[in-house]
Amino acid sequence: MLNGAISFDWINIQFYNNWCGVVNFANPNAWNFNVWDDWAHKTSKNPNVKVLIGVPASQSAGGGYVSARRSAPSSRTPRRSTLASAVSWPGT
């Protein structure tokens, strides 16, 4: 699906429960928003696709929770045309 065969308006990327999550924002070798930005520009069928940063809103929502204060730098990812927003959701 992500090989450019299907046109997406946006994609929701899970930046938690994995090594490249928002907990590693300060580590450019781990925080991989640039990989998705690159995909959007070079692979996506839709040249205007947007990337949403998905993060957990509470500790029960998944591994990699960070407080809003701590995750604020990730919302200041350098302006990129592909960055739409961040979305967070509570755990069950």
Q: How many CB atoms lie within 10 A of CB 17?
A: 12
Higher per-residue pLDDT: 72 or 27: 27
Distance CA 84, CA 53 (A): 8
Does 3 fall in a domain? no
Residue found by looking up tokens 């995909």 in the block: 39
Does 2 fall in a domain? no
Does 1 fall in a domain? no
Does 4 fall in a domain? no
Which pair of tokens denotes residue 78? 């350098």
Distance CA 48, CA 44 (A): 9
E-assigned strands of the chain?
Answer: 10-14, 50-56, 83-89
| Number of structural domains in the chain | 1
| Domain containing residue 60 | 10-89
Distance CA 30, CA 25 (A): 7
pLDDT in tens, 10-61: 998 888 888 888 888 778 788 788 888 899 999 999 999 998 888 888 888 7
- Can you give the pLDDT at residue 91? 64
Does 62 fall in a domain? yes
Buried b (16+ CB within 10 A) or exposed e, 38-51: ebbeeebeeeebbb
